[in-house]
Structure 1
């Protein structure tokens, strides 16, 4: 879901800043230990494939996701002063809370899952889905923070998302929008000279 916020932020940001200035702004991103975020993403992709082949990873995938989340939360906390990243932190904390309360897995409401591929919905019902998700039931804790929001046509990608996902996307959009909206250095200098 976070990809939607990234894509929208980049599109709006580049329209506002222009291609050249947008690329310059992106090259000047200054996030402390920012290189760890793509590593965490790669680890999640790796875990997704490993858990389908090895029972060890499938059995303990919830704990792996908790470690990934704790690492991401720590990095966001270090960078919380940057516009948008504090909002992302709140969204990640919301998702982390519901996952932590449910053994490291994200509950999905059956009503929200109705927009997904029927095969995936059946796997959720049977418990055969080897992912960080599981079908919500009466014993689910903090269910209101789970994937309860269905997104289907005309939305380009059918998915079930959480309140935390919505907050994360708002934060990602705001971060990229402000990053790509910063005036160029020469324009900033000109404005400073006019103000004197």
Structure 2
């Protein structure tokens, strides 16, 4: 969800800086609409069968992780697009920690309490409407890659991972490099 907020802030920033957002529509993507529709379908399944359905079934883990893998492959296929490599790396970091912890993104009870101070904490369970699993830090594999960074927004609290931060950097690179003016693009390509 923080990624969606970051995208909105980045687009507003680009508009305030008078960037040409129509340039985003002129980027050529490999895989085309068929690939995009497949990924949208995977995320629909992810929402319908994973995030908004309680439990920790094998099918939920498979759907969640296949959608992550599909995104990594899509962005590697489109490595020429600004930000695609960062985006693929961020998703890979998130997928790595999830796979190392049974297919779910680990969240410590302390961080969960920060995000939801009014909800009860039950370790080894998956909170409703999330792809997290509550694990103590000592039982979390690759803890440094899990949702450990607390974020307070004016309207809610959340936690993000290092992979999420890399994803935001990838989106920022896409928006600002793709919408750069001609002379700015020349400077970026010379670096």
TM-score by length of 2: 0.78
- Alignment partner, residue 171 of structure 1: 170
Note if 1:44 corresponds to 2:43.
yes
C-alpha distance in 2, partners of 1:123/1:43?
A: 30
Q: What does 1:88-167 correspond to in 2, within 5 Å?
A: 88-118=87-117, 121-122=119-120, 125=123, 127=125, 129-130=127-128, 131-137=130-136, 138-154=138-154, 156-167=155-166
Displacement of 1:9 in angstroms is 2.1
Whole-Å separation in 1 of the counterparts to 2:47 and 2:160: 18
The structure having more radius of gyration, on CA atoms, is 1
Of Structure 1 and Structure 2, which has the larger fraction of its residues in helix?
A: 1
Q: Distance in 1 between matches of 2:32 and 2:146?
A: 27
SS class of match (2:159)? strand
Residue 180 (structure 2) aligns with: 181
CA shift at 1:50, angstroms?
A: 3.0
- 1:18-37 equivalence runs, <5 A: 18=19, 21-22=20-21, 24-33=22-31, 35=33, 36-37=35-36
**Contact kept? 1:151, 1:161, Cα under 8 Å:** yes
Tell whether the 8 Å contact from 1:61 to 1:132 is kept in structure 2 after alignment: no
Instruction: Provide the TM-score with structure 1 as the length reference.
Output: 0.76
Match of 1:15?
Answer: 16
Contact 2:123-2:135 within 8 A present in 1 as well: no
Determine helix, strand or coil for the equivalent of 1:115: helix
Gaps of 5+ in 1: 189-196
- State the match for 1:192 in structure 2: none
After TM superposition, the structure 1 stretch with the greater mean CA deviation from structure 2, 126-135 or 172-181, is: 126-135
Deviation at 1:124, TM superposition (A): 5.3
May I ask how many residue pairs the two structures share in their alignment?
Answer: 180
Aligned-partner SS, 1:151: strand
